[in-house]
Structure 1
Amino acid sequence: MNYLIKSVSSIARLCIGHNIQGNASTLLRHCTNSDTTGNTSLVRHLTNSNAAGLSGLQLVRGKVSLYQMHRRGPLIKKRKRARPLDGNPFLKGVVLKTLIKKPRKPNSANRKCVLVRLSNGKEMTAYIPGIGHNLQEHNIVLCRVGRTKDLPGVKIKCVRGKYDLPHPVKRTGP
């Protein structure tokens, strides 16, 4: 690997010194005529990469100076935000199937969920909050954004008291 790096850097130095364009034949001719012995196979490999749309010289990168790094500033990557409902606060959906999901490790109670086909065409799993429900296939529910932490892949919740999902029943004391 070290030999490869040395040979690529010597080829790049040679091409920059002779002011050569990245043409395959001229690059090969100049490198075979020079004092860099044993680099012809590497040059052939680099020039054969022209078929992929890159010239051999584009594979070699220059180092950036501290001043250039200072001018450019720190590299800040943009994070993609998860938008399960494409930026909408609520979406209507049709229940395809009722599910019982098991939560992640420390928790153990089964969670009641439904597979919903939303009005934007996506099929997602939605959590049903509260105790008890009467949802079946073809029922219509309103879904809002809100992930359930201990259920992997569940990013939306059903809204109680809208369409076919009634309010939770108030439990009386003992």
Structure 2
Amino acid sequence: MIPTATRVGGLVQRCVPLMGLFSRSSVMQPSAWKPAGQLAGSRNMATLGLLSRQKLAPTKAIISATASTQIPASRTYATLNQAIRGARIPRKKKPATPALNSCPQRRAVCLKVFTVKPKKPNSAQRKVARVRMTTGKVVLAYIPGEGHNLQEHSVVLVRGGRVADCPGVRYKIIRGALDCQGVLNRTKGRSKYGTKRVKADPAAGKKK
């Protein structure tokens, strides 16, 4: 396809479908442009090769497209001297439990105790509580284990830990601490649920 040439302000301006016809040096130097009088008969040129040899006045689109492709490397990467001076700043890892303020646990007060539905494909009633930390932040905390005695104004101890199927729940209440009782009738994993060890009856161990 041969580009069409039009006369604009004594210079020839044309739409070029292929950007390869212009090099950056010939496009960006106005001194290389030729008046329209020197290009008489350019419409009668038969081949694209002869037409591409003429250096014409570029359009704004050609200039902007050519300039946008040249991205300085300093914008993306640090040079060797900059890296030696310590220009590279490591990205800070986003904390998973910002409400704890880098503490292992925090005391909190229950504002509301309710249940939520988990994500698909799970189906259940997860027990959660909206609590206010000592830092003043209000978050959702999960109540692990079967059964609980929490209600409004209960004082609990909160630790970090997300629930996989409950979006927005990134904290857990520690069972067996403060007002939260441990899980009853649990024999395995008692330390995770605050269950005390049941002492055996000494009379039952005696042989008759």
- The TM-score, its normalising length taken from structure 2, stands at 0.50
Shift of 1:83: 2.6
Structure 1 runs, 4 residues or longer, greater than 4 Å off: none
Aligned to 1:83: 96
Aligned to 1:106: 121
What is the percentage of aligned positions where both structures have the same residue? 37
Shift of 1:171: 6.0
Distance in 1 (alpha carbons) for counterparts of 2:182 and 2:113: 18
Unaligned 5+ runs, structure 1 = 18-30, 44-56
Instruction: Please give the residue correspondences for 1:21-40 in structure 2 after superposition, counting only pairs within 5 Å.
Output: 35=33, 36-39=57-60
Contact 2:108–2:157 (CA<8 Å) still a contact in 1? yes
Aligned to 2:167: 152
Larger gyration radius, structure 1 or structure 2 = 2
Unaligned 5+ runs, structure 2 = 1-15, 34-56, 84-89, 188-208
- Larger RCO of the pair (alpha carbons < 8 Å, separation 6+): 1
Q: How many residues align?
A: 133
Instruction: Please give the residue correspondences for 1:134-153 in structure 2 after superposition, counting only pairs within 5 Å.
Output: 134-153=149-168
Aligned to 1:51: none
Contact 2:160–2:170 (CA<8 Å) still a contact in 1? yes
Aligned to 2:144: 129
Over aligned residues, Cα RMSD in angstroms?
Answer: 4.0
Distance 1:61 1:171, change over 3 A: same
- The TM-score, its normalising length taken from structure 1, stands at 0.59
AA paired with 1:167? G
Shift of 1:79: 7.2
